[in-house]
Amino acid sequence: MPLTAKLSREFYDKFGNAVVDELVNWFNQVDATYKLELRDLNELNFARFDAKLEQRIAELRAELRTGLASLEARFEAKLEQRIAELRGEIATLEGRLLARLGVVEGRFGTLEGRLVRWMFLFWVASLGTSIALIELGR
C-alpha cells in the first residue's frame, strides 16, 4: 500500500508539483523497500524460530523416550521383584496351609481312633447285654 503523503498547499506552491510528486514517489519507494526488507527479515526470523523449535521438539522427544525407557525398566524391575515377593509369600502360606492340613488330618485320625474304641465298647456292651438277655430267657 503506497504512502499517500498529504503535503500542504504551500509546500506545492514553493517547490512545484513535479518536485513534490517526485518526493512523494521517492517516499513511496522507500516505504515499499522497507516493507519488503521487513517482510524478508520476518520470514528469516520465523524460519530460524521454526528450525529452533523443531530442534527443541526433537530433543524433548529424545529425552522423553530415554526417560520412558528408564521408567519402564525400573517399573519392570520393581514388578519382577514384587512378583518374586508374592511368590515367596504364596509358598509360605502354602507351607502353613499344608502344615495345618496335616494337623487336621492328625486330629481326624485321633478322632477316628476314639470313635472306633467307643464303637467297640458299645458293641461289647451290646453283645454282653444280648448274651445276658438270652441267658435270662432260657
Mean pLDDT of the chain: 90
Place of cell 530442534: 55
pLDDT value of residue 122? 93
Within 8 A by CB and 6+ apart from 7, the residues are 20, 24
Task: Tell whether the model's pLDDT for residue 138 goes beyond 60.
Answer: yes
**Claim: this prediction has a pTM higher than 0.75:** no
The answer to whether the beta carbons of residues 21 and 2 sit under 8 Å apart is: no
Q: What digits encode the pLDDT tens for the residues 100-133?
A: 988 888 888 899 999 999 999 999 999 999 999 9
Task: Tell whether the model's pLDDT for residue 4 goes beyond 80.
Answer: no
Task: Tell whether the model's pLDDT for residue 27 goes beyond 60.
Answer: yes
The answer to whether the beta carbons of residues 31 and 3 sit under 8 Å apart is: yes
Q: What digits encode the pLDDT tens for the residues 52-75?
A: 999 999 999 999 999 999 999 999
Per-residue pLDDT band for 16 (boundaries 50, 70, 90) equals: confident
Integer Cα distance of 16 and 10 in angstroms? 10
Integer Cα distance of 45 and 33 in angstroms? 18
Task: Kindly list the domain boundaries of the chain, sorted by start residue.
Answer: 9-108
- In a 3-state reduction of DSSP, which class is residue 16? coil
